[in-house]
Structure 1
């Protein structure tokens, strides 16, 4: 199907919705008739690609070819309504809602479109469980965040099962070997400067929502701070924020008020960000930045509320990873780092230590 010329962004979204649903219905019915044998994802990918080529800009797509559900399709022509359309010159945002009988399965789609060659085409499509314009952090939650951190908060000892050393980990060009990944060479790079306008920091898998997140208990001085990443074996080994040129001589848990400095993630993404000024951040903005990062991966600075106020990295898959404050001889913070527990070994006492 060629790209049909449409006069409005909502008309493009409507055409896309109908086309996508038609493809879903065709392959779903075929699968049912074939006694539900193994689903043919290759055919499904081709069908989705046909839809994307008809409605999206070049090299853009719906990114729906990797999953399939028979009972409730992500996009349904009969249960989807357009909630909001905003047009600014040659760009537009369109929000739709797909509502099924079971309330928990409602979903919102947030489309970004461009007007090119007298035609509206889709640039991106993100899926949300909440209305995209819903704020990630309410004013009340923002005040609660500030109440849970302080520059004078006490340091907390790292859990006994960890004996990690930032200075051993962060070395450039070091030949390393692990049982899991074999031989490799470490590479340390400067990512840029993290913009901490409030000094209220948080560590989180930002693929999640921000409903229950807490800031780090210790608040740092606002400023622009150098970020370094460490890689080996084609993976992120660690990431750190440097508050001083001094080397750390001791480490404490980078904990929240109710935590102990260990952070759980999906797909290995962890972000360090300024959590003190997020009252204007919407689900749509957060998802847009997160999805833009996820298409490339690696360690990057992204913008949540203020430019470069977040550094995100992809780590080593699902798991739980420690974050530590590095301090100097005077117990002053000089660094914050995350260790993805790759360049480590375990001793006879089941203590994990840096190698």
Structure 2
């Protein structure tokens, strides 16, 4: 059976908390709202993975809350377990792996998944239009200065939420392109995303699973 998200500890309401094994807890924090002008969502490492394609499933364009599920361990270490875009209040009935064009579930073997690679310790959500804006802006700046690194645009925002093991932001590029970034669980790796579907098969949420509670 292919890898499936474990929804046991998923939280969808800001401020919600739940006790976990080994004297740890998981809590939900709303970090902002993201604009999705085209409804085509890209999940990627925003510093090394901006060639990622959007998921095949498309949502209604609009502005939606971004939630993080954060595990706090006994030693006060905090790790982001799930990143969520919440589209409505509908209860999730089934989970479906988020795929890009050319990917098929039947290609996967036991415990395998399609996901995006992380090499900077950071994941993100953004609209396809935002990705195009970000790529064009990065190219423009690199033409001006070959040493330019896109992370510098976000460093101050990351510092506002920084702890040793996690940080996050929701911000805009070029005053219009909305993006959400967040530390990726234990760090670098490959991470899947899942659509949460309601009883009618409509999208209720999108979740990136950082493989901490699997």
1:189 correspondence with 2:58: no
Which stretch shifts more, 275-284 or 325-334? 275-284
Corresponding residue pairs, total: 180
Larger Rg: 1
- 1:321-340 matches, within 5 Å, as 321-340=191-210
Shift of 1:277: 4.5
Q: Give the Å deviation of 1:293.
A: 4.5
Mean CA deviation greater in 303-312 or 236-245 = 303-312
**Is 1:170 matched up with 2:11?**
yes
1:198 aligned partner: 38
| Unpaired runs of at least 5, structure 1 | 1-159, 345-355
Q: Which has the larger strand fraction? A: 2
Cα–Cα, structure 1 residues 341 and 280, in superposed 2: closer, same or farther, change >3 Å? Answer: closer
**Aligned Cα RMSD in Å?**
2.3
Q: Mark the CA change 1:268 to 1:280 in structure 2 (over 3 Å): closer, same or farther.
A: closer
Matches within 5 A, 1:1-355: 160-166=1-7, 168-170=9-11, 172-177=16-21, 182-208=22-48, 210=50, 212-233=51-72, 234-259=78-103, 261-281=114-134, 282-283=137-138, 284=141, 286-295=150-159, 296=162, 297-305=166-174, 307=176, 309-315=178-184, 316-344=186-214
Deviation at 1:271, TM superposition (A): 0.4
Does the CA-based 8 Å contact 2:133-2:177 persist in structure 1? Answer: no
Structure 2 residues not aligned, in runs of 5+: 73-77, 104-112, 142-148
The Cα offsets for residues 78-135 of structure 1, whole Å up to 9 and x where unpaired, read as xxxxxxxxxxxxxxxxxxxxxxxxxxxxxxxxxxxxxxxxxxxxxxxxxxxxxxxxxx
2:6–2:213 Cα contact (<8 Å) kept: no
1:230 CA displacement = 0.9
Which SS does the other structure have where 1:187 is aligned?
strand
SS of the residue 1:287 aligns to: helix
TM-score, length-scaled by structure 1: 0.46
Checking the alignment, whether the CA contact within 8 Å between 2:47 and 2:120 is kept in structure 1 is no
Q: In 2 relative to 1, CA 313–278 (structure 1 residues): closer, same or farther, beyond 3 Å?
A: closer
Q: Is the 8 A contact 1:184 1:232 kept in 2?
A: yes
TM-score (norm 2): 0.74
